[in-house]
Amino acid sequence: MAAEYLFRLDDACPSMDTPRWETVLEVLRRLGVHPIIAVVPANADPALARLPADPSFWQRARDWARSGCMIALHGWSHELRPSRGGLVPVQRRSEFVGLPIDEQRRRIAAGVRTLEANGLVPEAWVAPAHGFDGGTLQALRVESEIRIVSDGFARRVVRRDDFTWLPQQLWRPRSMGRGLWTICLHPNEMDADHVRSVEDFVTARPGSFPDPRDAAAASVPFGPSDALFSAAFGLALRFRQSMRGVRNSHERT
């Protein structure tokens, strides 16, 4: 199997940088790529308040869904606090990790209601800062119909804990070996050069960007080889993060 890629766009909310988002989405639309779009139902994170709230946001989001994008529930408020690493230990901050199950259920239920009230059906779960735990999965089972998680370090789509996991391993366009690779983008942060790199990446790889629903339908049971790959990939990622921290501390001294 040759390498295939998905794009995931994080932090969609009424106060996003709408012009930057529309630039990225127009490129993907023109190239026939259906991304996963992670929508924050009730943003309270000041880092995501880029512009005054757009009154047409929910209509835009409905247009995304009608055009084939996969809508994902991106937490509830995106308010992050220090926490353990959770099931995907990328960061030490989270909205969900460690919360009592009743509180996690409340937030999931409120998020689903908000999206549905605005004409959206969330098909996947995207945890803010990759922070979620077993209680989050339990809350999703009870309070939603969501059975797709966009996260994890597998090299293929796997079934685990009653969920289909679309792996998410990259944060910039990067040529990889065989497998399915999700590239997470934050359109709020993307300048013209970054958008151009996405366009060039997709143009150079025709036929390598499946619909996320088709990718999810090809899931296989999580096995020992997946566990080994996940552990090795996570270890390498944490090593790179620690080295970046060392370099940054040297630059500040």
pLDDT digits (tens, 9 = 90+) for 104-124: 999 999 999 999 999 999 999
What rounded mean pLDDT belongs to the chain?
93
Long-range contacts of 24-28 (CB under 8 A, 24+ apart): 24/185, 24/187, 24/190, 24/195, 24/198, 25/64, 25/187, 27/195, 27/198, 27/199, 27/202, 28/198, 28/202
At residue 242, the pLDDT reads 58
Q: Do 147 and 238 share a domain, yes or no?
A: no
Q: Do 143 and 241 share a domain, yes or no?
A: no
Domain range for residue 244?
A: 223-253
Q: Do 159 and 240 share a domain, yes or no?
A: no
Q: Do 148 and 65 share a domain, yes or no?
A: yes
Contact 70, 121 (CB under 8 A): no
pTM above 0.75?
A: yes
Q: Do 74 and 174 share a domain, yes or no?
A: yes
Return the bridge partners of 159, or none.
164, 221
Q: Do 162 and 235 share a domain, yes or no?
A: no
Compute the distance between CA of residue 157 and CA of residue 152 in angstroms, rounded to an integer.
10
Number of domains in the chain: 2
